[in-house]
Structure 1
């Protein structure tokens, strides 16, 4: 592997989003994030204060989700959620677009809503979740273009709650659709190191995953083996 554990860790948003998670589950997830010094945790909005408390001083950012998981809450609610998240200490936000508006061809409404969330975030990076499982390629492209025009920092493949998640083809399409100013985040089914590396090869630089520990421990084992083999030959 050409990656170190530290390099891959800083590409991961450790996901702590399942609806049944308890406060203890959030604590355990934040402990994993701190141990590996990942880029961020992505927690439910109600868990932002706890995550901020647990991760203060670790260098791990606290992100949360807006309009999650369906994206159909009114814009005013998404804006209010974003303002609350920032007020409580979140430093990144992942918002779900209104999929129905996009599929109806109402691109202007989608773009305006993204812009409203970007403004409410006050400079914190906004990652726009397209939920590709429900979109045609043309709709994916339109969502990417609208996200960039509206000032988003990332376009993101999935919530992880749709029938399918991130695919190489979708991620490559998203990367081709936006300029270098906008990054691509893969989420939804990113569970192995090999998946992550393949996605990085098409230009993905951030990954949402709940399998952080497994991915990073796999990389550590492979890198240790790669170092051990030449020593054994000698």
Structure 2
């Protein structure tokens, strides 16, 4: 089977571990530049630093909002989003309030997401839904709400839950979305084969902290050195 073309541009190179050091943040930014990944996602407290490092590259800077549990009040999420953009973020990954979804408070959930989408303009929002906690019916419902709210992507996972991206969830979202929203797979993606299968299933982005390892596997397959 043919390998994925321009694979590096599927990767959101990520470092969101709570114990990550400043030097590790710098290293991840440098890796993102080296491999020309799509985006570099890191803790918001380092956005200014990362923006300076990435300024002459094609790598976009991304920020997580209400990460990793999504419990913050909507007003706080809006402030987080605006602050992140002020400090250089060009992509926003926001965690939904899972309790609203589980409690069937769909109007509150829609407002919560919509307010962040509005605050992020002109940049797009990826809404993190943490699929490992959701039933099939809840996955279908949050997809519907994410589309209605104007999200650019629906994203499977934070990487902090008991499970990450699953092929069946990507296929479900792809089938039902009908190209009204893109899909980001994240959580537990450690190999090129995993990433490739998720892309074939319908993912347009891959969120991973193993971007360098995965990219080197890809380059070895196509016979290139980096």
Mapped pair 1:160 → 2:159: yes
Q: Supply the distance in 2 between the matched residues of 1:18 and 1:178 (Cα, whole angstroms).
A: 31
Partner deviation per Cα, 1:87-109 (whole Å, 9 max, x = no partner): 11100000000001100111111
Partner deviation per Cα, 1:185-233 (whole Å, 9 max, x = no partner): 00001110000111111111100001111111111111119xxxxxxxx
Mapped pair 1:224 → 2:206: no
The equivalent residue for 2:112 is 113
Unaligned stretches of 5+ residues in structure 1: 226-234
1:179 Cα deviation from its structure 2 partner: 3.2
The list of structure 1 runs, each at least 4 consecutive aligned residues, that deviate by more than 3 angstroms after superposition, is none
Q: Supply the distance in 2 between the matched residues of 1:102 and 1:180 (Cα, whole angstroms).
A: 23
Q: Supply the distance in 1 between the matched residues of 2:91 and 2:3 (Cα, whole angstroms).
A: 25
Larger radius of gyration: 1
Partner deviation per Cα, 1:128-157 (whole Å, 9 max, x = no partner): 000011110110111111001000000000
The equivalent residue for 2:122 is 123
Q: Supply the distance in 1 between the matched residues of 2:223 and 2:64 (Cα, whole angstroms).
A: 36
Mapped pair 1:188 → 2:184: no
Q: Supply the distance in 1 between the matched residues of 2:118 and 2:184 (Cα, whole angstroms).
A: 21
> Which TM-score applies when normalising by structure 2?
0.96
Unaligned stretches of 5+ residues in structure 2: none
The equivalent residue for 1:2 is 2
1:125 Cα deviation from its structure 2 partner: 1.0
Partner deviation per Cα, 1:113-137 (whole Å, 9 max, x = no partner): 1100000001211000000111101
Partner deviation per Cα, 1:47-97 (whole Å, 9 max, x = no partner): 111111110010000001000000001000000000001111100000000
Aligned residues: 224
Q: Supply the distance in 1 between the matched residues of 2:176 and 2:132 (Cα, whole angstroms).
A: 17
Q: Supply the distance in 1 between the matched residues of 2:3 and 2:38 (Cα, whole angstroms).
A: 15
> Which TM-score applies when normalising by structure 1?
0.93
The equivalent residue for 2:172 is 173
Q: Supply the distance in 1 between the matched residues of 2:7 and 2:194 (Cα, whole angstroms).
A: 12
